[in-house]
Structure 1
Amino acid sequence: MPNADVIIIGSGIAALMTAYYLHEDNNVIIFTKSNKERSNSWLAQGGVAAAVSKEDNWRCHYEDTMIAGCHHNDEKAVKILVREGPKQIQELISKGFRFDTDERGHLQLGREGAHQFRRILHADGDATGRKLVSFLLKELINKVTIVEEEMVLELLITNGRCAGVKTKKQSGEVGCYYASATVIATGGCGSIYAFSSNASTVTGDGIALAYRAGAEVADMEFIQFHPTMLYVNGKAVGLISEAVRGEGAILVTEDGRKMMESIHPQKDLAPRDVVARTIHAEVLQGNNIYLDISMIANFSKRFPTITQLCRSYGIDIESGKLPVVPGAHFLMGGIKVDVNGQTSIPGLYAVGEAACTGVHGANRLASNSLLEGIVFSKRLAETLRNYIKENMFVETSPHTDNHFVKKITKILPTKQKIQTLMMQYVGIVRNESGLKHAKQWFEQFSIPDLLNVDLDELTTEEITIINMLITGWLITTSALKRTESRGGHYRTDYPLMDENWKGTRIMRTKEELFVNA
């Protein structure tokens, strides 16, 4: 029975940064169900937001983050993010990471929606995430163990604390690994929607793992839809970064009408929820929406990744118009943690998009996600160093508190069925009747049974579908509970939030489900 100081589930920025800060003093194992480059972080185009310019400061970044988050944010978490961010950026640079600079060697700063200043750092144009992941993987070679193509089935709970994980290899072999601390860094759940910017592997696994083990989750109703996914033959095929609008691109209808002109003071750089809903309303009226990039000089040089994406689908960027549609992009909620990453289960931690510190509130400010992974992974690593010293791993027995004995009694739906349902009823615009329909649909598969099913004999595809059902049910039932419209949660049957009210966190616990069942 192999053991480690720390087990990390996931291979994006949050996972790798946590390992980066821990590896010198600790034995770290990283598990990823696919290959180590397949993550949302690898796909991230926009960049990292940080108040590093002379005219900018952390207070302005704080204000922008709070406004975008509709003041549902945890103020302490936001201050940590924006105050520690610039220091972390400088530390990365000092370690050899290279952000884009101008001919004088000064950092090139882009602008994105809802930011007062240019404060977005990029690497290789629109390949920031890929560059960061590649840098960290290189730094971690032969320093941590990275196990690819091995899915974590469940968390091992012993005497009320997390003692490790049970995994399944592609061959079907099941194994147990024990650790002093376990970290969930699996990203969000965007791919439970039909239109999504996320890697296809991001299906809510970490959230379902934690919820099955009894951990609290929070704010699951807040899903951010990115306004501009490239739209080809009825499918969203890839992200068009907000940085494109930051450089002057505008949203237009087929007849050339500037769509955001009269909608918001910041026009095309309005908060993402506003832009996504506006495009959605136009699409429902049968209108095609385009991103007009004709004013951006040297587009292919500034945005090489997007250019390659467009060409691979036969879209001519020389025409100056890219067809777009909104797609699920980011989960503001997740596994409830404090600012040090501690969940409601001792020994279990979460960081990055899988975690909910409250830092993003009801709607994430553009390019705060990579920053979150950088800042909070370091805090988590510092917490884990102290925790491991005081809680050295001693458990060598296979005994756990887990009692997953139920068998699947219903035929599971396809991934596509879940994705279509979520997009139609729990998407950009919601209402009570649609949410109730979705809730009833999910509950026909018996959520209590899915939380207790024995996964050992199931395929990884079946386990993924179970995780999608649990996560989709959590989003749907949380959306029903929030009887207001706020940020990424918009209901046509309830008004916008009271600007003077911060709102309350909607927590979901496994115990609550069984009490109400």
Structure 2
Amino acid sequence: MKQYDVIIIGSGIAALQLANKLTKDLNVMILTKENLTKGNSYLAQGGVAAAVAPGDDPYLHYLDTMEAGAHHNNAKAVLEMTKKAPELINGLWQSGCRFDEDENGNLLLGMEGAHSEKRIVHSGGDETGRHMVEFLISDLASNITVEQSTFVYDLILNQEKSRCIGVKAKLPDGSNEIYLAPHVVLATGGCGQIFSFTSNAETASGDGIALAYRAGVELADMEFVQFHPTLLYVDGKTRGLISEAVRGEGALLVTEDGKQIMAGIHPLKDLAPRHIVSQTIYDYSRRGIQIYLDISYIEDFSSRFPTISKLCTQHGIDMEKGLIPVVPGSHFIMGGIKTDLQGRTSIPGLYAIGEAACTGIHGANRLASNSLLEGMFVGGNLADWINSQRADKETGNNLPVHVKTFFAGKLPVPDMLKQTMMDRAGIVRTKEQLTLQAEWLAQFNHDKWLDADLDHLSPAQLTSLFMYITATLVTQSALERTESRGGHYREDFPYEDNANWMKKQIIHQQKNRKDGKHEFNQTALAT
């Protein structure tokens, strides 16, 4: 049993920003299930959105974010973030994090879909995430301990179940360990791995969302999954992300014979919001028509996009032809653990930041390059809040005596879960297919897993379980929302229903005290 002031689960931009902003008198532990650079933040290509150009303004950034989010966003939160964005970027830049500059030492800015101005700050061309993560890791102080290959699999609540006081984790040698702290932070990333086509790192299996749900924490908006339009597609598999910045520099989406598929679909054409582009490509794909990114319009492509060029070459793409085969895949979940702008959840002592959290900033569809920004913004806010607190440490004497039920039920095979989610709860959804998926998922005893003792499970089994719980939440939420909005497209309800659906779906896990049965319950609350 180990005691700390703050436990951070995850090692992406939000986690590292928080760790670096905490005061040096706090004893901080970072727990990450693989190594520090195995998450989505490290893979981020495009950059960070911020209104730093002379002709730009945070309010324009706010308007673009609201429009991309189908106005499902928390408007106040969005405006706070876009106003703070230039300060966050300049602070990193001045402290030594290098971003790409022109010959005069000014920030080079890119354009991405649904932005009205060039405001994408990038580093190393398309290596922004890697450079930022490496910089923040290099800045970690001596009060911060990191334990890698440590899989957190359960949250520990106090005797009254009114506060989170720690976590259980599985160590590299297979043994279990308890870590206690008055502040426990879930920064575990998203859940892209529940779909067969995804841009996400292998670590993005919905761990934090499942941990929170098992502990009875409120979730929100789990139906809103963003599918990135352009993943490299070779031999029937997705091979990595082709950044939206490529289209921002002039690439066009075309069929093999050169037809431009976005012409006449949206005023912004190839730079339309991601859900519109993804749905258009998907429509061609299910008719058996391969779509390509035509990069012949971009000068010096390999120097502007070195990571993408290397990725394509590794998978046999002839860059001289200028055509990159692409397909949409899961990229980001806008919903997650419901929090405020300090990262506080519905259970005191437990916080969530980054993609695992739902602050309301992204609405129904995240604006390109707002993810790293939100991670820095909320991570910094949480650091300020924790720095102002001096909570008493819980001790082992107050550990809960509740014994969870031993359950050794079967779990879905991950590849089957991914494929069925992609086919039935992916880019285009219907009641028929979602119901079919919900019935398929139900056979694995979702309710029994929610209060099961997990000590005996291996990391692979835990990953399968967390994917299963998260997939169930996404499927049920998608069934509940009978309209189309942002990343949630229902073919049987193809239009936004602003009269009835301008609200969030808050997911509560209700426990029947008499028989211990858990129920999936969603209450729609006006935003």
TM-score above 0.5, yes or no = yes
* Distance (Å, rounded) in 1 between the aligned partners of 2:308 and 2:349: 41
Matches within 5 A, 1:93-492: 93-140=93-140, 142-158=142-158, 159=160, 160-387=162-389, 389=390, 391-397=391-397, 399-400=399-400, 402-409=402-409, 411-492=410-491
Measured after TM superposition, the shift of residue 262 of structure 1 is 0.9
* Distance (Å, rounded) in 2 between the aligned partners of 1:265 and 1:498: 22
Secondary structure of the structure 1 residue equivalent to 2:189: coil
Measured after TM superposition, the shift of residue 401 of structure 1 is 5.9
Task: Give the conservation status (yes or no) of the 8 Å contact 1:23–1:144.
Answer: no
Residues 501/361 of structure 1: CA separation in 2 closer, same or farther (3 Å cut): farther
Task: Give the conservation status (yes or no) of the 8 Å contact 2:508–2:520.
Answer: no
Letter of the 1:380 counterpart: L
* Distance (Å, rounded) in 1 between the aligned partners of 2:113 and 2:520: 41
Task: Give the conservation status (yes or no) of the 8 Å contact 2:509–2:520.
Answer: no
Residues 500/93 of structure 1: CA separation in 2 closer, same or farther (3 Å cut): farther
State the partner residue of 1:514.
518
Secondary structure of the structure 1 residue equivalent to 2:488: coil
User: Following superposition, which runs of at least 4 residues in structure 1 exceed 6 angstroms of deviation?
Assistant: none
Task: Give the conservation status (yes or no) of the 8 Å contact 1:231–1:323.
Answer: yes
State the partner residue of 1:20.
20
Superimposed CA distance per residue, residues 321-365 of structure 1 (whole angstroms, 9 cap, x where no aligned partner) = 000000100000000001111100010000010000110000000
TM-score of the superposed pair, with normalisation by structure 1:
0.97
The percent of aligned pairs where both chains have the same amino acid is 52
Letter of the 1:267 counterpart: K
Task: Give the conservation status (yes or no) of the 8 Å contact 1:190–1:203.
Answer: yes
Secondary structure of the structure 2 residue equivalent to 1:42: helix
Letter of the 1:448 counterpart: D
* Distance (Å, rounded) in 1 between the aligned partners of 2:400 and 2:11: 26
Task: Give the conservation status (yes or no) of the 8 Å contact 2:20–2:141.
Answer: no
* Distance (Å, rounded) in 1 between the aligned partners of 2:395 and 2:480: 40
* Distance (Å, rounded) in 2 between the aligned partners of 1:492 and 1:38: 36
* Distance (Å, rounded) in 2 between the aligned partners of 1:516 and 1:361: 22
Measured after TM superposition, the shift of residue 153 of structure 1 is 1.0
Task: Give the conservation status (yes or no) of the 8 Å contact 1:71–1:502.
Answer: no
Measured after TM superposition, the shift of residue 141 of structure 1 is 5.4
* Distance (Å, rounded) in 2 between the aligned partners of 1:94 and 1:110: 20
Uncovered stretches (5+) of structure 1, i.e. residues with no partner: none
Letter of the 2:6 counterpart: V
TM-score of the superposed pair, with normalisation by structure 2:
0.96
Task: Give the conservation status (yes or no) of the 8 Å contact 2:226–2:366.
Answer: yes
Residues 184/402 of structure 1: CA separation in 2 closer, same or farther (3 Å cut): farther
Task: Give the conservation status (yes or no) of the 8 Å contact 2:52–2:86.
Answer: yes
* Distance (Å, rounded) in 1 between the aligned partners of 2:240 and 2:400: 42
Letter of the 1:166 counterpart: K
* Distance (Å, rounded) in 2 between the aligned partners of 1:163 and 1:307: 46
Superimposed CA distance per residue, residues 350-397 of structure 1 (whole angstroms, 9 cap, x where no aligned partner) = 00100001100000000000000111100011111123x1x1214232
Measured after TM superposition, the shift of residue 23 of structure 1 is 4.7
* Distance (Å, rounded) in 2 between the aligned partners of 1:207 and 1:38: 18
Task: Give the conservation status (yes or no) of the 8 Å contact 1:72–1:502.
Answer: no
Measured after TM superposition, the shift of residue 502 of structure 1 is 6.4
Letter of the 1:34 counterpart: E
Secondary structure of the structure 2 residue equivalent to 1:259: coil
Measured after TM superposition, the shift of residue 307 of structure 1 is 0.6
Task: Give the conservation status (yes or no) of the 8 Å contact 1:157–1:402.
Answer: no
Task: Give the conservation status (yes or no) of the 8 Å contact 1:219–1:507.
Answer: yes
Superimposed CA distance per residue, residues 303-331 of structure 1 (whole angstroms, 9 cap, x where no aligned partner) = 00001101111111111000000010000
Q: CA RMSD in A?
A: 1.3
Letter of the 1:514 counterpart: H
Moved more, 170-179 or 111-120: 170-179
Measured after TM superposition, the shift of residue 443 of structure 1 is 1.0
* Distance (Å, rounded) in 2 between the aligned partners of 1:444 and 1:498: 33
State the partner residue of 2:88.
88
Secondary structure of the structure 2 residue equivalent to 1:104: coil
State the partner residue of 2:525.
none
Moved more, 207-216 or 15-24: 15-24
Secondary structure of the structure 2 residue equivalent to 1:405: coil
* Distance (Å, rounded) in 1 between the aligned partners of 2:133 and 2:208: 20
* Distance (Å, rounded) in 2 between the aligned partners of 1:91 and 1:393: 33
* Distance (Å, rounded) in 1 between the aligned partners of 2:166 and 2:254: 51
Residues 483/401 of structure 1: CA separation in 2 closer, same or farther (3 Å cut): farther
* Distance (Å, rounded) in 2 between the aligned partners of 1:372 and 1:425: 30
Task: Give the conservation status (yes or no) of the 8 Å contact 1:156–1:401.
Answer: no
Secondary structure of the structure 1 residue equivalent to 2:263: coil
Measured after TM superposition, the shift of residue 398 of structure 1 is 6.0
Letter of the 2:323 counterpart: K
* Distance (Å, rounded) in 2 between the aligned partners of 1:178 and 1:20: 20
